[in-house]
């Protein structure tokens, strides 16, 4: 084919037998070559040449639309500057970019340093995911956050569910399933109109764990009419309080009821076996000193009341 084209329209300088015939040369000679070889033969030759290597388009317009286009290899669109490699703009009500797959991932975003996928919107969701059975949006990460959301005024990440689903769910094999952080506000805030605002379940560990620094509160519950904090258990204590002994001994459970003189009670205990039980100590008598109001049960079952400092009185 190459030899025939050279014979029909040879250049002013002699072409060597091994010189490659470029696509530009072939297109320039198409007019006279077609007369001798026939349009069918030339078309077949150009098709074979096009299939032999990748198409190159520098500054040319690529027109898409209409029927499906099948690809037998991965297609890349790249830029040599810092501009976006690909933009899809929809002026109507359709989607700017839609990716679909029968078994794989519809859209994959990859980046070495920036965002793999970024969604931005003036009024609607910046990123929207929907699924009939699986995850609407799935995020995975080797070391950094799998999913990160930031907002100036609204929620960084908003999860909504119907009558039986879960708004936001986090799971982890060894790390943190769901983590919230805030510099001055709530790290995680939960609200509910009728059900639990925050529910936790665990097979062996803590369902909900709260930790605080030197002056904060590990877990705080507030309510206008109901219970601030409620604990229930079928086989163990509904609420367990533990406290260390360093540097100053602190109570495991502390109860406050309003302002002094308001008529509230620090604690109310109800039980069919006993309202309150004091576990006997291993000591043979009361401690050397205490605080006014302390009750102490020694090893032999004697009950002591501290009137202040070293003054103790046996009650039973």
What was the pLDDT predicted at 7?
58
Over residues 262-276, the pLDDT tens digits come to 668 889 999 999 999
Read off the pLDDT of residues 109-123 as tens digits, 9 standing for 90 and up: 887 777 778 777 777
* Residue 49 reports pLDDT greater than 50: no
d(CA 272, CA 300): 25
Average per-residue pLDDT for the chain: 75
Q: Is the pLDDT of residue 161 over 90?
A: no
Report percent pLDDT > 90 for the chain: 16
With a cut of 90, say whether residue 193 has pLDDT above it: no
Ranges 3-12, 147-156, 236-245, 279-288, most confident: 279-288
pTM: 0.50
The alpha carbon torsion through 239, 244, 247, 251 (nearest 10 deg) reads: 30
Query: Do 282 and 272 form a contact (C-beta atoms < 8 A)?
Result: no
Between CA 160 and CA 171, with CA 165 as vertex, the angle to 5 degrees is 90
Helix (H) or strand (E) holding 17: none
The residue among 283 and 124 whose pLDDT is bigger is: 283
Distance between CA atoms of residues 262 and 259, nearest Å: 6
Q: How confident is the model at residue 50 (pLDDT cuts 50, 70, 90)?
A: very low
Answer yes or no: is pLDDT of 60 > 80: no
Distance of CA 60 to the CA centre of its chain: 41
pLDDT in tens, 240-265: 888 876 666 788 888 888 765 666 88
In the prediction, which pLDDT does 30 show?
44
pLDDT at 309 over 90: yes
Q: What is the pLDDT of residue 293?
A: 96
The better pLDDT of the pair 43, 211 is held by 211
| Residue-wise burial string across 28-48, b where 16 or more C-beta atoms lie within 10 A, e elsewhere | ebbeebeeebeeeebeebeee
**Greater pLDDT, 145 or 311:** 311
Q: What is the model's pLDDT at position 276?
A: 95
């Amino acid at each position: 084919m190459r030899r025939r084209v050279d014979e029909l329209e040879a250049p002013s300088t002699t072409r060597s037998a091994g010189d490659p015939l470029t696509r530009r040369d072939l297109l320039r000679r198409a007019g006279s070559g077609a007369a001798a070889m026939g349009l069918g033969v030339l078309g077949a030759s150009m098709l074979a040449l096009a299939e032999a290597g990748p198409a190159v388009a520098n500054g040319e317009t690529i027109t898409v639309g209409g029927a499906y286009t099948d690809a037998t290899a991965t297609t890349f669109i790249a830029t040599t500057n810092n501009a976006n490699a690909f933009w899809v703009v929809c002026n109507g009500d359709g989607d700017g970019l839609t990716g679909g797959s029968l078994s794989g991932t519809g859209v994959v975003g990859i980046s070495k340093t920036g965002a793999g996928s970024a969604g931005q919107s003036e009024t609607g969701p910046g990123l929207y995911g929907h699924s009939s059975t699986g995850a609407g949006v799935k995020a995975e990460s080797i070391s950094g956050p799998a999913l990160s959301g930031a907002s100036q005024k609204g929620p960084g990440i908003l999860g909504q569910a119907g009558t039986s689903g879960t708004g936001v769910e986090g799971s982890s094999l060894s790390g943190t399933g769901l983590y919230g952080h805030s510099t001055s506000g709530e790290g995680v805030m939960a609200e509910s109109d009728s059900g639990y605002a925050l529910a936790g379940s665990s097979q062996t560990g803590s369902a909900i764990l709260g930790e605080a620094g030197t002056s904060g509160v590990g877990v705080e519950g507030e309510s206008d009419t109901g219970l601030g904090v409620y604990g229930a258990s079928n086989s163990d204590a509904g609420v367990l309080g533990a406290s260390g002994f360093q540097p100053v001994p602190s109570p495991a459970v502390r109860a406050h009821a309003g302002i002094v003189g308001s008529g509230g009670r620090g604690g109310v205990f109800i039980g069919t076996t006993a309202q309150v039980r004091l576990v006997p100590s291993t000591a043979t008598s009361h401690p050397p000193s205490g605080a006014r109001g302390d009750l102490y049960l020694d090893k032999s079952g004697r009950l002591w009341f501290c009137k202040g400092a070293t003054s103790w009185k046996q009650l039973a």
